[in-house]
Structure 1
Amino acid sequence: MRIQIFSTSYIVTDQRLQRIANTLAANGYSVKVFCRKHHSLNYTNNKFTVNYISLFYKKGPLFYFFFNIKILFRALFSRFDIIYSNDLDTLPGCALGSIIRRKKLIYDSHELFTEVPELIGRPLIKFLWGIQEKIFVKRAKAVITVSEGVANELEKRYSLKNVVVIRNVPLRRSTEVFKEKQPTIIYQGALNIGRGIELAIEMMKQLPCYKLLIVGTGDIEIMLRRQMLESNLSDRVQFLGQLAPENLRLITPIAWLGLSIEEDMGLNYRYALPNKLFDYIAANVPVLVSDLPEMRKIVEEYEIGIVAKSRNPVELANQIADLFDDRKRYESLSKNVKKAAEQLNWQNEEPKLLNVINGIIKN
């Protein structure tokens, strides 16, 4: 059984894409991944084939248009049984390819794409993406997403049934790293609007004995670095850039607290279950999350951290300081995180993916 996966992301940093491809290959499927090549990080594996799609355009409408043209071209002139669309920005090409070739389509919606903050104030672009999703999602033999909230929204919008939730949980690995002596807070992920990174830097003014690590790159990185310098925090706020997953796994466990403090900027963030939340858990790091339903549910169910009571930087800093001052409570959260990591891992999640594939094959 031959499966082709298409993604506009970089496989070297897209851990969900890596996990899905590895799981399918390990279970006997012939897997080919088509994606972009990172400008500085390299990815190697011996389980599946990676083909890089290069374009003159690097972003914007023309990038997405020509990327999907290349998807369609690949679909027309290659052999496969299942075509796997890795988010909405590859769905048009994958769906058209599946229709023309009469092959089966899987749609993996990583988020509510039409509700991302980058589309706020851009009604035409939002409308065009929404129309494409509405037209092509019905072609999919299976629809997958990352949280119950997103699944419910997709089912409601497009009259779908049985959207499968496969969370962005990492592989379970042993974690034996000593914490930093200085109380260390970490944010890892894209440096984009609405992620709460500006709030985290502002908060550090109230935490003179603490250090903040920021891992990742994104649209507002220059603005964030300027904020750090203007706040005289260069000695306690460190930008580590984008790291390969194997290097990131060495950094995350040294932190005392992991941040996932997205703003409620629409349904996409409201229903988000970010990769970083589960990466913190895997690294045995308690978390501070926004008071948004999906993240709050995980934190409260497993008792692995605290939910932000406010987006005021002074009040948020006080909440963190109170947690670290209460040593008994922090140790309890740390123990709970270790227990949660035994459940919230890819080894427990991947059977859902295999059930989806097996169901498609049988039907």
Structure 2
Amino acid sequence: MKLVYLSTARVPDEWAHVIQIMKMCEAFADAGHDVTLAIPQRGRTSGEDPFTYAGVRSNFRIVKLPCVDVNPGSQGKMLFWLRTFSFLVVARCYLLCTAYDLLYTRELFALGDLTKTVFELHSQTDAVRRARHSLIRSRAVVCISQGLADDVVVSGIPREKLVVAPDGVSLGDFERPESSDLARKRLGIPSDKPVALYIGILDTWKGVETLYAAAALMPEVRTVVIGAHDGAEKRLAVEYPHVTFIPFQPYRELANNQQIADVLILPNSGKEAISAKYTSPLKLFSYMASGKPIVASDLPSLREVLSESNTFFAKADDPASFAATVRYVLAHPEEARARASAAQKNVTRYSWTARAEHILSEIE
């Protein structure tokens, strides 16, 4: 089958959705299909090889299509829409001239043959509601969580049109990480205290404010956050002196960086639906693959994958609960090892290859 994955993403780039797109293209190709990733030709894009950056094999091709990219790198609303819709118009011409069997995309306004189009949704938004008629007429709609699928049905999309497929992980990336001592030395983290680690973007809905407050309640633990952008770690270090901030690190270093942790933190907020009901965080699966104990917010979105057998839950948006749970984990090493081991076993069902095969089996 000839599959085109259409995305407006800048590739390569550091954001998790770019890694997810590249991993899915690799997985679709591994399933035996002829895969092309069609993306915009963007200015100020890293010259690094996109396959190397994302840690995927070059078993699919990348086609870059022109777009109106005024002031590359700008996130201004008007320039964003100009760039996006100019790309989608060019992509429409590309699709008309290309023989393909399936168009896979996260772009709600992609202009392809809807009978051959599979849309992937990551949140319930006004844009999803506006695209309802296209979603209904499409081949299928993939939702990354059951909570998202339930709300999409409420908005008028038939349940039989939906495929629920949580995100995944490349298990091979985590088979031979470096030692904790080497990882801490490389990142400049002293070994005088146990480490509670968060890796990811610092958006409010990710719950980082809860973690910052929890850090002040457990000074005997070194709380480390990896993911600050544009020099923000210096400002944050002044504002939150109980937290050690490390700038964003490339995805290919994730497995090694996780090894500095004695406990990994997933502090998602319960105040927004995208976090409480819809998300399927890539870090959830990489945490599970690490062999380290996890402390996570007790939220429906996370419980779709996690349970008391493989995770320690804390009350979302409650710094005291997180601090107490981290202390419990550190005080009960045998139980922590058992749950971490269970997580490693459980995560094997969430490979990118298994995800791609599940999606394709549901739409054929």
Q: What is the TM-score normalised by the length of structure 1?
A: 0.81
After alignment, is 321-330 or 341-350 more displaced? 341-350
1:1-20 correspondence runs (5 A): 1-12=1-12, 13=14, 14-20=18-24
Q: Name the SS for the 1:331 alignment partner.
A: helix
Q: Is the 8 A contact 1:169 1:344 kept in 2?
A: yes
Partner of 1:208: 219
Structure-1 separation of matches of 2:28 and 2:234: 40
Task: After TM superposition, list the pairs within 5 Å mapping 1:154-193 onto structure 2.
Answer: 154-162=152-160, 163-173=162-172, 174-179=175-180, 181=191, 182-193=193-204
CA distance in 2, matches of 1:24, 1:297: 24
Letter in 1 for 2:158: L
Percent of aligned positions that are identical = 18
Report the equivalent of 1:122.
Answer: none
Alignment correspondent of 2:258: 252
Report if aligned partners of 2:177, 2:255 keep a CA contact under 8 Å in 1.
no
For 1:56, the equivalent position in structure 2 comes to 70
The answer for the alignment partner of 1:98 in structure 2 is: 113
Please tell me the residue identity of whatever aligns with 1:4. Answer: V
Q: Which amino acid aligns with 2:89?
A: L
Give 3-state SS (helix, strand or coil) of 1:216's partner: strand
- Aligned counterpart for 1:139 among listed residues 137, 141, 148: 137
Structure 2 counterpart of 1:63, one-letter code: F
- Measure how far apart 1:106 and its partner are: 0.9
Task: Find out whether 1:43 has 2:55 as its counterpart.
Answer: no
TM-score w.r.t. the length of structure 2 is: 0.80
User: Would you say the 8 A contact 2:2–2:100 is kept in 1?
Assistant: yes
Partner SS state of residue 62, structure 2 = strand
1:149 aligns with: 147
Q: CA deviation at 1:266?
A: 2.9
Corresponding residue for 2:235?
226
Q: What is the Cα deviation at residue 74 of structure 1?
A: 2.2
Aligned-pair CA distance for 1:268: 1.6
Identify if the C-alpha distance between structure 1 residues 230 and 189 changes in structure 2 by more than 3 Å, giving closer, same or farther.
closer
- Point out where structure 2 has 5 or more consecutive residues left out of the alignment: 52-56, 182-190
Alignment counterpart, residue 76 of structure 1, candidates 86, 93, 111: 93
How far apart are residue 229 of structure 1 and its match? 1.0
Q: Which residue of 2 aligns with 1:195?
A: 206
Q: Residue deviations 1:293-337, cap 9 Å, x none?
A: 121343226x12211136332342122112211222212222222
Cα separation, partners in 2 of 1:231 and 1:110, compared to 1, 3 Å: closer
| 3-state DSSP of counterpart to 1:35 | strand
Partner of 2:105: 86
Structure 1 match to 2:184: none
- Deviations along 1:22-81, one digit per CA (max 9) or x if unpaired, are 122233432221236674454135211223456225332441343133223222233032
Residue type at the aligned position of 1:189: G
**Cα RMSD for the two superposed structures:** 2.7
Which digits, 9 at most, give the CA deviation of each residue in 1:162-182, with x for residues without a partner?
311221110222244433554
Is the CA contact 2:2–2:101 (under 8 Å) kept in the aligned structure 1? Answer: yes
Q: Does 1:322 align with 2:297?
A: no
- Equivalent pairs, count: 331
Give the Cα separation in 2 of the matches to 1:356 and 1:43: 29
CA separation in 2, counterparts of 1:4 and 1:342? Answer: 27
- Give the distance between the partners of 1:310 and 1:74, measured in 2 at CA: 42
Alignment-mate amino acid for residue 244 of structure 2:
V
C-alpha displacement of 1:185: 2.0
Compared with structure 1, are the counterparts of its residues 85 and 191 closer, same or farther at alpha carbon in structure 2 (3 Å cutoff)?
farther
